[in-house]
Amino acid sequence: MPKVHIIVGKEEHSLEVGEGDNLLFEAVSRSVMIPFNCTSGRCGTCRVRVVEGAEHLSEMGDREELRLGDEQVEKGYRLACQSFVFGDVTVEVPQPRLY
């Protein structure tokens, strides 16, 4: 099973997920707070930066690429709601919210 490591501020979380599972849904269902609003790639709220394992995420779609823009794509950002996990990956939530 793929392992997902999520860095939220000073907290670090490790999850085992099923191959092909959605990054945002798996995180939130296990109380790892990645901020989100729409879950469809339209708002961009669930932006994360891939630290390691970008090759183990699904390909970026047009909607995600348009929402992030070229600069953020080049810096390794993805939308968690549009990212499906196929291997080990480490992501960082750039501006964690306090809940």
> According to the model, what pLDDT value does residue 97 have?
52
Q: Say what the pTM is.
A: 0.92
Average pLDDT, the chain: 94
Residue 73, in any domain of the structure: yes
What is the domain count for the chain?
A: 1
**pLDDT tens per residue, range 14-60:** 999 999 999 999 999 999 989 999 999 999 999 999 999 999 999 99
Residue 29, in any domain of the structure: yes
Say yes or no to pLDDT of 95 above 90: no
> According to the model, what pLDDT value does residue 99 have?
44
Alpha carbon distance 48, 72 (integer Å): 10
Residue 80, in any domain of the structure: yes
41: CATH: 3.10.20.30
The domain in which residue 48 lies consists of 3-93
**pLDDT tens per residue, range 6-16:** 999 899 999 99
Alpha carbon distance 12, 91 (integer Å): 10
Residue 98, in any domain of the structure: no
Please report where in the chains the tokens 């995180």 appear, as a residue.
27
Residue 99, in any domain of the structure: no
Residue 26, in any domain of the structure: yes
